[in-house]
Amino acid sequence: MCVVPILQLCHDKFESVQRRSTKRLHGFHDIEYPTRLNKLNLQSLEYRRLVADLILAYKIIFGLVDIDPNDYFCLKGSRGDPYKITVGLMCVETFFSEGVVLAWNSLPPSVANFTSLRVFKKL
């Protein structure tokens, strides 16, 4: 049995709870979900999971947690971008690092400021 579709199904169910809850608020019934989130100053759960994964990746790569980064990532940096990563040897396809590699490597230069965790979180 493949884990990825099951995880996506779980994520969709969690997101549907937020969709329903925001729709029940007074004056929000006929407003599209993205607009409701914007008016309520909320982010989708999918977006929040991605941000949490990127912050954890930052902590692993820069040694801020007691986890060997080589178990999850291989740095394949270049002169232009020293922090590009690939999936590490110990990872399975459905694990956290597999999903975060594309997002990490796609960070625009304005966000890929690795001077401190505080700055990275803010951006």
**Whose CA is closest to 116, among 47, 50, 64, 48?**
64
* pLDDT per residue of the chain (123 residues) written in tens, 0 to 9: 444 455 565 667 778 888 888 889 899 889 998 999 899 998 988 888 889 999 998 998 888 999 888 777 777 766 667 778 877 655 555 467 677 888 888 888 778 778 889 988 888
Query: How many residues in the chain?
Result: 123
- CA triple 38-105-16, angle to 5 deg: 35
Locate tokens 């692993």: which residue?
60
Whole-structure pTM value: 0.74
